Amino acid sequence: MTETLPTREQVTLSADFPVPETMKAWVLGDPDQLQQVEKVVPMPGKAEVLIRIDAIAICATDLEIIHYGTPALIEGGPPFNKNFTPGHEYMGTVAALGTGVDEFSIGDRVTVEIHAGCGQCKRCRQGMYTSCLNYGLNYGDVDKGHRANGFTTDGGFTEYAVNNINTVIRVPDDMSDEVATLVVTAGTSMYGLTELGGLVAGESVVVAGPGPIGLLAVAVAKSLGASPVILTGTRDARLEIGKALGADHTINVGNADVVAEVKSIVGQRGVDYVVECAGTEVAINDAIHMTNRGGKICFAAFPHDPATVDLPHVVKNNIYLYGIRGEGRSATHRAMAFMAEKRFDASLVHTHTFDLDDLPEALRYARERVEDAIKVVVKSGGVEASREV
């Protein structure tokens, strides 16, 4: 595949933010094998900026990619042994501008969303760039197809990354680096609620699964006026965090019939919306059976295996099922607006911070939930890191 990469002579640089020729980068070899190497710092092209990565959060999807490969797609297949750098929930500082960029300035603190669509396919023209029909067809040639950093193009477990300006959001001065990395997570939750109808004021919402997306789904739903907001899960400590983020009720599914408990709160007709973040067959069917006629369910988790679900109940009760991918329809921008206004305290889901050189240990904390880790953040770009428990 032939490609023409931008050169330093074609971009806007600043002596105040010197950009090195090379950078540290973690690359994926075999499954679960990461190696730190030196890569050439990429230069931004038209409508792109170069970001010095100051912090990156570890997402459960990163763990999926590193172990299983999916949903990353590199050169038409799994991402293993292709010099691929994963990671996608990062923030940082604009360090260089591509041609034609005047929307941002060097030195701006920014956070990012993952996906920039190709802009040419049917889905992109509909604004559904996270469903770009050219997904995964552009590794090594970003002039063709969809860019999804950490999925189809190099991601953020490194020191610098190139982003399309449509994926870049300014970070308020009073927002910490760690909180700024969580905007993608909140944006995914926002996108789920957007697809379920957007305005949920006065509607009842169940969030199943108190992981990072589920916890911030509680916060976003409450900020949108949903009532009541019910969080279900198995870990009492996380359910307590859910209360702090706005849950009106919490249910430990290990101690109760969750469908009966939900209906005892909202009435026997069931709940209006369910945001399903657990991904298990049991949780999926519980979501179906707690939803009222004409209600809606958003599936935000990545199940490992096919599930047997009660489709007759879905059809007979006119229940709508939606699968979401990432943070589409500019939901990350809307999530940032909520976070900038301090509608909720996203820092409640951040539990640990590591240095970029300690990425394997940071991934272990996230994977094994060491010390009940929820959101683990890795600091880079020369920014001092300290572990927070």
Looking at the chain, the whole-number percentage of residues with pLDDT higher than 90 is 73
Percent of the chain with pLDDT over 70: 94
pTM check: above 0.75: yes
- For the segment 117-144, the average pLDDT, to the nearest whole number, is 80
pLDDT band at 139 (very low <50, low <70, confident <90, very high): low
Residue 75: φ, ψ to 5°: 50, 40
Could you report the per-residue pLDDT of 292-311, keeping only the tens digit for each? 999 999 998 888 788 899 99
Q: Are 282 and 258 in contact (CB under 8 A)?
A: no
Rounded to an integer, the average pLDDT of 33-62 is 95
Tell whether the model's pLDDT for residue 387 goes beyond 60. no
Could you tell me which CATH class the domain 185-323 is placed in?
alpha beta
Stretch 360-379: mean pLDDT: 96
Asked whether residue 14 carries a pLDDT value surpassing 60, the answer given is yes
User: What is the mean predicted confidence (pLDDT) over 76-87?
Assistant: 94
**Over residues 24-28, mean pLDDT:** 98
* Res 1 pLDDT > 50: no
Superfamily of domain 8-171+345-379, CATH level 4: Medium-chain alcohol dehydrogenases, catalytic domain (3.90.180.10)
Is the pLDDT score of 197 beyond 90? no
pLDDT at 7: 81
* pLDDT number for residue 381: 55
Instruction: Write the pLDDT tens digit of every residue in 146-172.
Output: 788 999 999 999 999 999 999 999 999
Residue 145 pLDDT class (50, 70, 90 cuts): low
Average pLDDT over residues 22-50: 96
Torsion angle of the four alpha carbons 34, 35, 39, 44, in this order, in degrees rounded to the nearest 10:
20
| Residue 329: predicted pLDDT | 82
Segment 142-148 mean pLDDT: 72
How would you write the chain as a 3-class SS string? CCCCCCCHHHCECCCCCCCCCEEEEEEECCCCCEEEEEEECCCCCCCEEEEEEEEEECCHHHHHHHHHCCCCCECCECCCCCCECCCCEEEEEEEEECCCCCCCCCCCEEEECCEECCCCCHHHHCCCHHHCCCCCCCCCCCCCCCEEECCCECCCCECEEEEEHHHEEECCCCCCHHHHCCHHHHHHHHHHHHHCCCCCCCCCEEEECCCHHHHHHHHHHHHCCCCCEEEEECCHHHHHHHHHCCCCEEEECCCCCHHHHHHHHHCCCCEEEEEECCCCHHHHHHHHHHEEEEEEEEECCCCCCCCCCCHHHHHHCCCEEEECCCCCCCHHHHHHHHHHCCCCCHHHHEEEEEEHHHHHHHHHHHHHCHHHCCEEEEECCCCCCCCCC
pLDDT for the residue 130: 87
Kindly list the domain boundaries of the chain, sorted by start residue. Answer: 8-171+345-379, 185-323
pLDDT of residue 383: 46
Q: Hey, do 8-171+345-379 and 185-323 end up sharing a CATH topology, with the first three levels equal?
A: no
pLDDT digits (tens, 9 = 90+) for 241-255: 999 999 999 999 998
Pair of tokens at residue 314? 């879905």
Contact indicator for 248, 267 with CB cutoff of 8 Å = no
Which of 117-121, 156-160, 214-218 has the least mean pLDDT?
117-121
Q: Is the pLDDT at 352 greater than 70, yes or no?
A: yes
The mean of the pLDDT values for the chain is 91
